[in-house]
A and B are shown apart, each in its own frame.
Chain A
Amino acid sequence: MWKYLVKKEFKQFLRDPGMPGMVLMFPFLIILVFPFATNMEIRNVRLVMVDNDHSDRSHLLMEKCASSGWFEVLDVNAAPESAQALMDRGRTDAILTIDNGFSQYLEDTRGGGGSVPVGIKVNTVNGTRGSIAGQYLNTCVTGFISDNMVSSSAAAMPGFDVSGSYRFNPYLDYKLYMIPGLIVIAITMMCGFLPALNIVSEKEKGTIEQINVTPVKKTAFIACKMVPYVAVAYFMVFTCLLLAYLVFGYSCRGSYFAIIVYTLAHILVMASFGLLVSNFSENTQQAMFVIWFFSMIFMLMSGVFTPIESMPQWAKTITYANPLRYFADAMRAIFLKGCGIRETWPDLACLLGIGSLTMTWAVLSYKKTA
């Protein structure tokens, strides 16, 4: 009996006009397109410079900034008003103003007398972009001044040397970090909610009625529905991992067994959640809206795109109920840090905890509504 039901689900899945194509396309999008978009690195900061000093020194400073490689210099000799206008229109991220008396400041033998006659203005509408522009400029200016200070005392300062290094991802490659996260998102979208929608549409078509009058148990019917989606999830995970290896040379550092276990656990959680939603929906449209609503919340509050640490406490508390949080955390730990189930077991425990809760509720409400 199981054989025939599973066969039916596979055939229907493969005959769907969109699904097989999407399943084939998704891994390519996930590995070859999206990682390039998920770049937090700030490059090509647009800079306008205003020189009121008109000295050799001020020219040297501007040259130093221009050659630092951080900036795309739009204008080196702008009038203050036009620089401001450029910023208002969002054309430039930063303005460096060198005030009159800059060269004199450097000549000043006392050193550090008064404030630095250099002004930096950054556009912080885009949060990070502005503050990073500020940091870059600050580094340039401070470096220039301390190098050119006539009185610059070269005496060794007491203190300590600080060196930094990065584990697991020494070159801070954002793509490496995002790939496991994006795999998580793809599986959630493709395999998490679709089984539930599939059941809703069988309800609407009336075919589920025909199955209900047969001796097939409802739970068995749902279990058989899950099989192709689980297969698809594994297909996608391993295609993604293979592509990541072939294209970028990234290989999974941890246990493949752990990936298999987590993927299965995640699909079960999401599918039972989807079923729960569909039990409480009147039609496909409602089910789809509500499912979309939750999947957005799951995705944006999972730590895949922005760190959970940066959320306010109440939002952090909400993420404890988000299955994606645990799946994403575990996948990253496995892929990047070489972990297995032993190190990530709290994630698995939470995932299974949420899963058993939603599963029980879904099955109970399903029996009631049917």
Chain B
Amino acid sequence: MRQILSFIQKEFRHIFRDVRTTMIVLVMPVVQIILFGYAVSTEVYNVVVDVVGDMTDPEVRRIVERIDANEYLRIGEVLPSVSEIEGRFRRGSPKAVLCFGDRFDSQAGSGKGASLRIVADGADPNTAQTVTAYLMGVLASEQMEMATALTGSSGPSFSPNIQLMYNPAMSSSYNFVPGVMGLILMLICSMMTAVSIVREKEFGTLELVLVSPVKPFWIVLSKLAPYLVLSLVNYVSVLLLAHYVMGVPVNGSLTLLTLASLVFVGSSLGLGLLVSVISKTQQTALMICGMGLTMPTMMLSGIIFPCESMPAVLQAISCIIPAKWYVIMVKKIMIQGVGFASVAKEFAVLTGMMAFLLYVSIKKFKTRL
């Protein structure tokens, strides 16, 4: 036991003596969660809309002012003709152009049906759809008001009452912050650990350790210990920022969240360890983690793009990424505030992953002896 403790002590010294790397590892997640917590969002604000139409026409004026007053939309330029649209889109500033027909006011008032066309820049389908929906909404309320003014009574509203559960303010941070937490924790944990064993391999100090009477299992474990501490520090800082800065609630049990995070961190460390055991040089190890893990985690774990919309094959692949399960759990625990029973499946999956990764890396480590 004493031997193992002295091993762990050695590992701690090793890691924390390199102050600069330790600082980098601790500061990175803080900066990233702040940046991405705010910046990664698919809500569309402040979209520029151009207008083609006769600005002296009173009805056109009313609609344009209405749009400009909308918090999501902003009027850009008034174009003299529809032929200008293409050029404006190419230079990229407006996302949509509203084209009014001739003599819009009198046509609209007469009930003959004036025509209005929305041309959106479809290059970015998400923004295009959202902008079109916003514009449609503004126009519908304008139409409603016109009808009221004409008939003197408000038209019937058939809209049912929509109740937004868990996230009534529709804050997009609820959606993206847990994802960003998972992404950052997983990648940083695995990258840190990825160098652990391969570095000693490169320096040749591993042989020294291997001839000692300590069992490989304990060697690996003592190597993981300092990284576990660093990861937990990262978890705490990320959680504090998510809650106090990004305003994500912690509706469920903090203990459960911490337990889930522990398992997640464990499986990320296991992943890093496996990479470390199989790669020959530090550079390869860092490359596998830095490039090989980043892309799939970002794209496939449902952080930005919903897993449900992916084809079945990709959905299946996404199941092997630990971050996916963690993000689901975090959302459930932090936002929905559910108990253990509701996250039991994800918890079990992550625990299984952790056990598998650690088992395989220790086994691989042993066969290298």
A and B touch in the complex (CB under 8 A): yes
Binding site for B on A (CB under 8 A): 17-18, 22, 29, 33-34, 36-44, 87-90, 111-112, 115-116, 118-131, 134-135, 137-138, 141-142, 145-146, 149, 156-170, 172-174, 177, 185, 189, 197, 201, 282, 284-286, 288-293, 295-297, 299-301, 305-307, 309-312, 314-315, 318, 329, 332-333, 336-339, 343
B25, B40, B115, B133 — which one has the most chain A CB atoms within 10 A of its CB?
B40
CB atoms of A296 and B32 under 8 A apart:
yes
A314 to B308, CA, bound (A): 32
CB atoms of B311 and A167 under 8 A apart:
no
CB atoms of A124 and B107 under 8 A apart:
no
Question: Could you say which residues of chain B place their CB within 8 Å of the CB of A285?
Answer: 21, 195, 199, 282, 286
Given A310-B45, A336-B123: A129 in contact with B129 (beta carbons within 8 A): no
CB atoms of B166 and A125 under 8 A apart:
yes
B residues 255-294 touching A (CB-CB < 8 Å)? 282-284, 286-287, 290-291, 294
Any A CB within 8 A of the CB of B300: yes
CB atoms of B42 and A159 under 8 A apart:
no
Interface size on B, residues (CB 8 A): 108
CB atoms of B306 and A129 under 8 A apart:
yes
CB atoms of A156 and B306 under 8 A apart:
no
Residue of B nearest to A143 (CB): B158
When the two chains form the complex, which single residue of B158, B295, B308 contacts A141, counting CB atoms closer than 8 Å? Answer: B158
Question: Could you say which residues of chain A place their CB within 8 Å of the CB of B150?
Answer: 158
Question: Could you say which residues of chain B place their CB within 8 Å of the CB of A292?
Answer: 187, 191, 286, 290, 294
Question: Could you say which residues of chain B place their CB within 8 Å of the CB of A146?
Answer: 158
A274 to B148, CA, bound (A): 63
Distance in Å from the Cβ of B261 to the closest Cβ of chain A? Answer: 18
Residue of B nearest to A158 (CB): B111
Question: Could you say which residues of chain B place their CB within 8 Å of the CB of A88?
Answer: 336, 338, 342
Any A CB within 8 A of the CB of B114: yes
CB atoms of B90 and A163 under 8 A apart:
no
CB atoms of B308 and A168 under 8 A apart:
no
A44 to B307, CA, bound (A): 11
Distance in Å from the Cβ of B40 to the closest Cβ of chain A? Answer: 5
A115, A159, A166, A343 — which one has the most chain B CB atoms within 10 A of its CB?
A159
B residues 104-162 touching A (CB-CB < 8 Å)? 104, 107-111, 113-129, 132-133, 136, 139, 143, 146-147, 150, 155-162
Given A127-B167, A292-B290: A333 in contact with B92 (beta carbons within 8 A): yes
A296 to B163, CA, bound (A): 36
- Where chain B touches its partner, the secondary structure class is helix
Closest 9 CB pairs of A and B: A112-B156, A166-B122, A127-B175, A169-B122, A172-B125, A118-B160, A124-B167, A158-B111, A145-B158
When the two chains form the complex, which single residue of B25, B126, B157, B167 contacts A307, counting CB atoms closer than 8 Å? Answer: B126
Question: Could you say which residues of chain A place their CB within 8 Å of the CB of B174?
Answer: 124-125, 127
Q: Bits for B27-45, please: 1 = Cβ < 8 Å to A, else 0.
A: 0100110011011111111
B117, B126, B195 — which one has the most chain A CB atoms within 10 A of its CB?
B126
16 contacting pairs across A/B (C-beta < 8 A): A116-B157, A118-B161, A123-B165, A127-B174, A130-B164, A131-B170, A142-B158, A161-B115, A164-B118, A166-B125, A167-B119, A285-B195, A288-B290, A292-B290, A292-B294, A306-B304
CB atoms of A124 and B170 under 8 A apart:
yes
Question: Could you say which residues of chain B place their CB within 8 Å of the CB of A289?
Answer: 21, 24-25, 28, 191
When the two chains form the complex, which single residue of B41, B91, B282, B332 contacts A306, counting CB atoms closer than 8 Å? Answer: B41
Any A CB within 8 A of the CB of B7: no
Given A173-B125, A177-B125: A293 in contact with B39 (beta carbons within 8 A): no
Distance in Å from the Cβ of B87 to the closest Cβ of chain A? Answer: 8
When the two chains form the complex, which single residue of B85, B91, B104 contacts A167, counting CB atoms closer than 8 Å? Answer: B85
When the two chains form the complex, which single residue of A42, A120, A166, A173 contacts B161, counting CB atoms closer than 8 Å? Answer: A120
Instruction: Using A130-B164, A305-B304 as known contacts, list a sample of 17 further A-B pairs with CB atoms less than 8 Å apart, ordered by residue number in A.
Output: A36-B311, A37-B314, A39-B305, A43-B308, A120-B160, A120-B162, A125-B331, A125-B336, A130-B165, A134-B162, A168-B121, A172-B128, A174-B126, A288-B283, A296-B187, A305-B40, A318-B39
When the two chains form the complex, which single residue of A18, A156, A170, A300 contacts B122, counting CB atoms closer than 8 Å? Answer: A170
Question: Could you say which residues of chain B place their CB within 8 Å of the CB of A135?
Answer: 133
CB atoms of A40 and B125 under 8 A apart:
yes
Question: Could you say which residues of chain B place their CB within 8 Å of the CB of A116?
Answer: 157-161
A201 to B86, CA, bound (A): 49
Any A CB within 8 A of the CB of B205: no
Given A42-B309, A164-B132, A164-B136: A126 in contact with B175 (beta carbons within 8 A): yes
Any A CB within 8 A of the CB of B81: no
CB atoms of B47 and A163 under 8 A apart:
no
Any A CB within 8 A of the CB of B328: yes
Any A CB within 8 A of the CB of B241: no
Distance in Å from the Cβ of A64 to the closest Cβ of chain B? Answer: 13
CB atoms of A306 and B310 under 8 A apart:
no
Any A CB within 8 A of the CB of B351: no
CB atoms of A172 and B122 under 8 A apart:
yes
CB atoms of A157 and B143 under 8 A apart:
yes
Question: Could you say which residues of chain B place their CB within 8 Å of the CB of A44?
Answer: 308
